[in-house]
């Protein structure tokens, strides 16, 4: 079954914008007598350089934190998760958030997963760790597992032949009753189980060195691995 909760919270910590760039005083006629300077971006500043006015200070995220936000947003959208981004600096609740949700936090950003998993610091935000926090159903991809028994032959040739087959994503060479274990992936197959078995019997079984095969096709699958190729296909 899919995860019960699909809600994530990403905590970031911005900085208040302060500039040392000199701006000449604003005349009362230019500002309507309010002493407020429009920056042309929807922001308002006081006549003193670098000072935000009233309750609308200007904040910005560092590029590394902004990149983490973009990566998490993309992952969450592809995998069907709801993401809430909280800027602890802008809310003015940093001390309470740290005590209630982010104990022992040393670095921002911090991502809290549906089951309380946590990623902390920009270095932790990679595809593998994000995929582990946001497991997804394999809806548009069928993953199957095939055991092979081989007769003697050129090991390098057998490996090259199997590796050249597009659905073969992993090869594991074994000792025991079976010689090779394959992980197969099929995107948008016309017939899920039949399409997998057709490939095994029509392609893999016809390799001269293959004596026998045994294939497992799961009825339902969830993965914690990144599936960037298949997810891009689903999004497009």
What are the E-state strand segments in the chain?
7-12, 15-16, 36-38, 44-46, 59-60, 82-87, 110-112, 118-120, 136-137, 141-150, 168-173, 180-187, 210-216, 222-223
Q: Which two tokens stand for residue 226?
A: 């990144």
- Do residues 129 and 119 touch, judged by C-beta distance below 8 A? yes
In which band, very low, low, confident or very high, does the pLDDT at 16 lie, cut at 50, 70 and 90?
confident
Assess contact for 170 and 183: CB atoms under 8 A: yes
Distance CA 194, CA 217 (A): 10
Task: Dump pLDDT digits (tens) for 128-156.
Answer: 999 999 998 887 788 999 999 999 878 88
The pLDDT, as a whole number, for residue 45 is 38
Q: Is the pLDDT of residue 168 over 90?
A: yes
User: Is 145 in contact with 181 (CB distance < 8 Å)?
Assistant: yes
pLDDT digits (tens, 9 = 90+) for 113-127: 998 899 999 999 999
Identify the band that residue 89 occupies on the pLDDT scale cut at 50, 70 and 90: confident
Interatomic CA distance for residues 160 and 179, integer angstroms: 15
Comparing 104 with 177, the larger pLDDT belongs to 177
Confirm whether pTM is higher than 0.85. no
> What are the residues facing 85 on neighbouring strands?
10
Structure token digits, residue 168: 């073969």
Q: Give the sign of the dihedral formed by CA 171, CA 176, CA 179, CA 184.
A: negative
- Cβ(178)–Cβ(149) under 8 Å? yes
**How many C-beta atoms surround the C-beta of residue 180 within 10 A?**
20
Residue 42: what pLDDT? 38
Where do the domains of the chain lie? Answer: 7-14+60-136, 139-220
pLDDT band at 44, cuts 50/70/90? very low
Q: In CATH, what class is 139-220? A: alpha beta
Q: How far is CA 193 from CA 26, 218, 230, in A?
A: 73, 9, 18
Q: What is the dotted CATH code of the domain comprising 7-14+60-136?
A: 3.40.30.10
Read off the tokens for 63: 């590029």
pLDDT of 198 > 70? The answer is: yes
222-232 confidence digits (pLDDT tens):
988 887 555 54
Q: Poorest-confidence range of 13-22, 78-87, 182-191? A: 13-22
């Amino acid at each position: 079954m899919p995860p019960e909760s699909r809600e994530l919270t990403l905590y970031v910590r911005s900085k208040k914008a302060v500039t040392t760039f000199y701006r000449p005083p604003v005349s009362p006629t230019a500002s309507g007598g309010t002493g407020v300077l429009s920056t042309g971006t929807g922001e308002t500043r006081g006549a003193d350089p670098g000072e935000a006015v009233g309750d609308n200070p200007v904040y910005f995220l560092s590029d590394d934190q902004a990149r983490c936000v973009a990566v998490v947003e993309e992952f969450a959208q592809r995998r069907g998760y709801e993401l809430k981004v909280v800027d602890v600096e802008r809310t003015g609740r940093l001390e309470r958030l740290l005590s209630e949700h982010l104990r022992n936090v040393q670095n921002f950003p911090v991502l809290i997963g549906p089951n309380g998993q946590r990623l902390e610091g920009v270095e932790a935000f990679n595809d593998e760790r994000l995929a582990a926090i946001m497991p997804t159903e394999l809806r548009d991809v069928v993953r199957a597992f095939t055991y092979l028994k081989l007769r003697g032959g050129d090991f390098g040739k057998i490996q090259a032949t199997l590796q050249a087959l597009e659905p073969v994503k992993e090869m594991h060479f074994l000792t025991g009753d079976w010689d090779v274990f394959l992980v197969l992936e099929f995107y948008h197959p016309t017939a899920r189980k039949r399409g997998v078995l057709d490939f095994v019997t029509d392609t893999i079984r016809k390799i001269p060195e293959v004596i026998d095969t045994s294939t497992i096709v799961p009825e339902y699958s969830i993965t914690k691995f990144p599936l960037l190729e298949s997810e891009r296909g689903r999004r497009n």
